[in-house]
């Protein structure tokens, strides 16, 4: 603790605004250092002087003079012949305008506030919806890979309820449609994707699923979906299945009937 | 009295030592997966274990006494021509015998979930299980009695015959048969949301059904619309699809 340091903190020292440690350090320093001791005494003198300074009040005469002056001014104003800025007959209109303006202002304020409020509301709502959607998505995604086929099927049915599914959901559905071990899940995924067939990625996935699928029930479902959405790019795949010797006769017949709706 | 007690103890001892049944504890296991070329038969018992009994399954022929069967497709660690392996919470059971061999008869507790697959022309029989059932056959039939579902069934050329005691309302049931028929019996008070498709076959029932607007509005199947309806004011989702055969839905 040097002199410079102590000097800076002397005022706080006098007012007891320092923590214990600093207070003690300064006290120690003051005991050793005469200069600082002197500075302290000076400061204390000044403070004492301020505390004990005589409070000066204005003279009684001043007040009386002021009162007289005020009376005079008031009297003069009463008999004033200055011309008013507005004529009397305009006064009514003026107040009407004033009231109308204040109402208009109030109304505008209300509108603004309302609008502001509604903005905040929709924002809040959309945040909530967003969170809800995220939760639903997370639940669906976690369940869609479950060991139980029935739970996977439920997750797929759940995904179907989305109005605007994110990529995560779409990819999960596409994956299920292609690779799930059970045709029940694949088929449910295909019908769910039919709902979102306005998206190119979904249409392409439906075509590629028909290309690889070997279960007849699933083939029929995919053909019906693709014809339903008028996907002409599926024609080569359908013709390929038609020419395959392994394809059951009733699937071939189905394709022939459906192709006529597509071309 | 004392004699008969001692006799019982002795008898149990003999059974335990000389019984040639195969058992595997099902502690910590919630699903048994079985695949086999032979017909699979699942029955229930009161113990929390997987059982292949000697009484109902063939171990070896007389000629092979003293020898061990060796299969290329797996390790016969049960001596019944069956490989059993625990994989986490799943018990994987793989029948190693040819499709012409005798049925594989298995016991599990009534509440054990099962997933069965017979890729050959053999059948799957399940009797009295109150659990989740997944079953897949290619050319064989799938016949379930006294089950509660949910069931997920895939059958290519065979028939599916199921007699439900009730239908689990927590998870969806779906049955898809490509070539064969689906024949389902349900308690008359079963609540369900039904979706039925028989693109080439017909649908028969003694339930009173009312088609929903959704069913009438469906644009995709111009030729043959799916039947979408509610049983007893609606409930769990049940999908039945017979792509070529018929569907029979019977009241119990």
SS3 content of chain A, % helix, strand, coil (to 5): 80, 0, 20
A206, A241 in Cβ contact below 8 A?
no
Residue B195's alpha-carbon distances to A141, A202, B225, B231, in angstroms, are 25, 23, 11, 11
- Using alpha carbons, select from B169, B166, B175 the residue that is nearest to residue B135: B175
Give the alpha-carbon dihedral of A92, A97, A98, A100, to 10 degrees. Answer: 130
Quick one: CA dihedral A181, A184, A190, A192, positive or negative?
A: negative
Tokens 């067939």 identify what position? A197
- The beta-carbon neighbor of A216 closest among B113, B151, B178 is B178
ipTM: 0.86
* A34 in the same domain as A141: no
pLDDT for the residue B248:
97
> Is the Cβ of B224 closer than 8 Å to some Cβ of chain A?
no
Contacts of the segment A224-229: beta carbons below 8 A, 24+ positions apart: A224/A258, A224/B199, A224/B220, A224/B221, A225/A190, A225/A191, A225/A193, A225/A194, A225/A197, A225/B220, A226/A262, A227/A258, A227/A261, A227/A262, A227/B220, A228/A194, A228/B219, A228/B220, A228/B221, A229/A194, A229/A197, A229/A203
Probe site for chain A from B87, B92, B157, B174 (most A CB atoms < 10 A): B174
pLDDT for the residue B242:
95
A182, B137 in Cβ contact below 8 A?
no
In a domain, A75, yes or no: no
pLDDT for the residue A60:
75
pLDDT for the residue B59:
79
Taking residues B170-193, what's their average pLDDT?
95
User: Could you tell me what percent of chain B has a pLDDT over 90?
Assistant: 69
- pLDDT band at B202; cut points 50, 70, 90: very high
Taking residues B65-78, what's their average pLDDT?
88
Taking residues B90-116, what's their average pLDDT?
94
Probe site for chain A from B168, B173, B197, B243 (most A CB atoms < 10 A): B243
Taking 80 as the threshold, does the pLDDT of residue B10 lie above it? no
More confident residue, B178 or A116: B178
Taking residues B73-99, what's their average pLDDT?
92
Task: In whole angstroms, give the CA distance from residue B191 to residue B167.
Answer: 8
CATH code, domain with A182: 1.25.10.10
How many whole angstroms from its chain centre is CA B45? Answer: 15
In a domain, A216, yes or no: yes
Token couple for B103: 């049925």
Across the interface, whether the CB atoms of A217 and B31 are under 8 A apart is answered no
State pLDDT tens for residues A141-199: 888 888 999 999 999 988 888 888 888 889 999 999 999 999 999 999 999 999 999 89
pLDDT for the residue A92:
73
Question: Containing domain of residue A27, as a range?
Answer: 3-48
pLDDT for the residue A95:
79
**How many structural domains compose chain A?**
2
Q: Which residues contact B18 (CB under 8 A, 6 or more apart)?
A: none
Residue A219's alpha-carbon distances to A226, A237, B142, in angstroms, are 10, 11, 22
Backbone angles phi, psi at B163, to 5 degrees: -115, 105
B192, B231 in Cβ contact below 8 A?
yes
In a domain, A156, yes or no: yes
What residues in B contact A224, CB-CB < 8 Å? 199, 220-221
Taking residues B84-97, what's their average pLDDT?
94
Task: In whole angstroms, give the CA distance from residue A155 to residue A149.
Answer: 10
Tokens 């076959």 identify what position? B201
Tokens 């709902």 identify what position? A195
pLDDT lower than 50: segments of chain A: none
| Structural domain spans, chain B | 20-110, 141-252
B50, B23 in Cβ contact below 8 A?
yes
The mean pLDDT of chain B is: 88
- Using alpha carbons, select from A31, A35, A39, A33 the residue that is nearest to residue A14: A39
In a domain, A106, yes or no: no
Taking 90 as the threshold, does the pLDDT of residue B187 lie above it? yes
More confident residue, B191 or A20: B191
Comparing alpha-carbon positions, the chain B residue that sits nearest to A226 is: B220
- Flag the least confident range among A35-49, B51-65, B78-92, B199-213: A35-49
In a domain, A192, yes or no: yes
pLDDT for the residue B82:
93
What residues in B contact A248, CB-CB < 8 Å? 178-179, 244
* A140 in the same domain as A43: no
In a domain, A62, yes or no: no
Give the helix/strand (H/E) hosting B82.
Answer: strand B82-87
């Amino acid at each position: 603790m040097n002199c410079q340091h102590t000097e800076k903190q002397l005022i706080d020292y006098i007012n007891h605004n320092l923590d214990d440690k600093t207070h003690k350090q300064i006290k120690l320093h003051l005991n050793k250092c005469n200069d600082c001791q002197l500075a302290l005494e000076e400061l204390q003198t000044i403070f004492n002087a301020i505390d004990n300074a005589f409070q000066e009040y204005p003279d009684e005469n001043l007040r009386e003079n002021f009162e007289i002056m005020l009376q005079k001014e008031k009297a003069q104003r009463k008999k004033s012949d200055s011309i008013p800025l507005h004529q009397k007959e305009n006064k009514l209109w003026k107040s009407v305008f004033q009231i109308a303006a204040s109402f208009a202002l109030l109304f505008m304020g209300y509108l603004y506030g309302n609008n502001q409020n509604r903005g905040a509301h929709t924002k809040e709502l959309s945040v909530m919806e967003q969170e809800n959607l995220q939760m639903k998505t997370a639940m669906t995604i976690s369940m869609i890979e479950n060991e139980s086929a029935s739970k996977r099927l439920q997750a797929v049915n759940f995904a179907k309820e989305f109005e605007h599914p994110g990529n995560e959901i779409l990819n999960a559905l596409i994956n299920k449609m292609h690779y799930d071990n059970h045709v029940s899940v694949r088929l449910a995924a295909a019908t769910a994707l039919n709902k979102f067939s306005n998206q190119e990625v979904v249409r392409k996935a439906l075509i590629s699923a028909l290309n690889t699928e070997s279960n007849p029930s699933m083939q029929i479902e995919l053909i019906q979906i693709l014809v339903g959405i008028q996907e002409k790019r599926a024609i080569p795949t359908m013709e390929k299945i038609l020419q395959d010797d392994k394809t059951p006769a009733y699937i071939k017949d189905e394709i022939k009937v459906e192709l006529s709706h597509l071309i | 009295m004392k004699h008969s007690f001692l006799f019982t103890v002795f008898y149990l001892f003999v059974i335990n030592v000389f019984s040639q049944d195969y058992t595997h504890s099902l502690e910590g296991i919630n699903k048994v997966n079985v695949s086999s070329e032979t017909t699979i038969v699942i029955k229930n018992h009161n113990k929390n274990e997987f059982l292949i009994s000697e009484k109902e399954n063939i171990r070896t022929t007389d000629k092979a006494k003293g020898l061990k069967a060796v299969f290329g497709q797996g390790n016969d660690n049960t001596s019944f021509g069956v490989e059993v392996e625990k994989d986490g919470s799943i018990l994987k059971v793989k029948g190693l015998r040819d499709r012409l061999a005798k049925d594989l008869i298995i016991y599990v507790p009534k509440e054990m979930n099962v997933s069965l697959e017979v890729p050959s022309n053999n059948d799957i029989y399940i009797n009295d299980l109150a659990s989740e059932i997944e079953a897949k056959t290619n050319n064989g039939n799938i016949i379930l009695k006294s089950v509660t579902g949910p069931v997920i069934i895939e059958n290519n050329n065979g028939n599916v015959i199921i007699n439900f005691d009730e239908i689990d309302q927590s998870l969806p049931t779906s049955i898809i048969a490509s070539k064969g028929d689906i024949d389902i019996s349900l308690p008359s008070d079963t609540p369900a949301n039904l979706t039925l498709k028989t693109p080439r076959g017909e649908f028969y029932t003694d339930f009173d059904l009312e088609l929903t607007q959704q069913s009438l509005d469906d644009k995709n199947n111009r030729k043959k619309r799916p039947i979408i309806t509610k049983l007893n004011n609606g409930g769990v989702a049940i999908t039945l699809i017979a792509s070529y055969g018929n569907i029979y839905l019977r009241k119990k």
